[in-house]
Amino acid sequence: MSYDNACKYLAERFPADFTRWLLGIEATRVRVLKTELDLEPIRADSVSFLRVGDRILHLEFETDPYSNPPIPFRMLDYSVRLKRKYRRDVEQFVIFLQESSNEIVFTTEYRDRTTIHEYNVIRLWEQDPAIFLDNPGLLPLAVLARSDSPQALLEQVAERVDRIENSERRQGVAACTEILAGLRFESNLIRSILGADFMRQSVIYQEILQEGRTEEALLLVTRLLECKFGDIAPVLLEKIRSLSIQDLENLGVDLLGFSEVGDLEAWLG
């Protein structure tokens, strides 16, 4: 299930709610920035970049503390790239969704012999759900927040979702709530409280899942190409990113027969 992708969906459709929560300010204008950086292009599947006034708000959602490269180094890397590209201060938050005792979820800096880089860490299971319940874009996160009665909290979230008047917004929040609830609750309970069968018919729900599958296919194809040919030219990477999931799957099969980059160029047309 695309847990990180659901969070990214929320951050980019409700940026003011996230800005209010994390920065404590009422932003009149928040701009969502693309999640690709030009230097040695990378794709940030679980990342959102928001421009808030003279700052960049970098959000990274994680269910697993293990990654390569490690999260602390990635935060340093992103910070430098963002500052170089946008010439603005960067506020960084790693938001861990699922409870863990791994030391990475308690780590707030990258450190080596010559460099110290600090960033913010939020462990959702320690957070008071009140702030999430009062902001529509944060409602799905509430199901993972601190509670002595998680089921009662899930029921409370479901009731708040039902109050959202705009039907498209309500569908999106409901779909993300169902997805994130899967990190904490059994599917039967989720269905009984949230009405999952209805949400699975939602165009927005399908969009979230489709985006997650496309990102996984894109990551696999680009890694295979890099293993085969080394660094891939940005113009080719841009063409690959525009492919449908079906085309990405076809490329993943066909590239096994490529002997040079020219074969990739010919395939992409």
DSSP assignment string, 70-131 = -HHHHHHHHHHHHHHHH-SEEEEEEEE-S----GGGG--EEE-SS-EEE-EEEEGGGS-THH
pLDDT for position 200: 53
Please report which confidence band the pLDDT of residue 153 belongs to, taking 50, 70 and 90 as the band edges.
Answer: very high
Task: Look at residue 206 and tell me whether its pLDDT is greater than 70.
Answer: no
Stronger pLDDT, 173 or 254, i.e. the higher one = 173
pLDDT for position 208: 65
The arithmetic mean of pLDDT across residues 141-161, rounded, is: 95
Task: Look at residue 43 and tell me whether its pLDDT is greater than 50.
Answer: no
Token pair listed for 136:
């529509």
CA distance linking residue 41 with residue 38, whole number of Å: 5
Q: What DSSP designation does 57 have?
A: E
pLDDT for position 17: 95
pLDDT tens digit sequence for 158-174: 999 989 988 778 878 88
Token pair listed for 132:
């999430």
Please report which confidence band the pLDDT of residue 205 belongs to, taking 50, 70 and 90 as the band edges.
Answer: low
Task: Look at residue 27 and tell me whether its pLDDT is greater than 60.
Answer: yes
Task: Look at residue 72 and tell me whether its pLDDT is greater than 50.
Answer: yes
CB atoms within 10 A of CB 35: 16
Most confident of 193-197, 245-249, 253-257, 260-264: 260-264
Element spanning 238, H or E: helix 234-241
pLDDT for position 56: 95
Please report which confidence band the pLDDT of residue 150 belongs to, taking 50, 70 and 90 as the band edges.
Answer: very high
Q: For residue 173, how many C-alpha atoms fall within 13 Å in the half-sphere facing its CB?
A: 27
pLDDT tens digit sequence for 231-253: 788 888 888 888 887 788 788 77
pTM comes to 0.75
Task: Look at residue 50 and tell me whether its pLDDT is greater than 60.
Answer: yes
pLDDT for position 149: 95
- Per-residue buried b or exposed e for 184-197, using 16+ beta carbons within 10 Å of the residue's own CB: bbeeeebbebbebe
Angle CA 219–223–227, to nearest 5: 175
Percentage with pLDDT > 70 across the chain: 87
Instruction: Tell me the residue type at 197.
Output: D
pLDDT for position 156: 95
pLDDT for position 152: 96
pLDDT for position 61: 93
Most confident of 35-49, 213-227, 252-266: 252-266
pLDDT for position 1: 45
pLDDT tens digit sequence for 82-123: 999 999 999 999 999 999 999 999 999 999 999 999 999 999
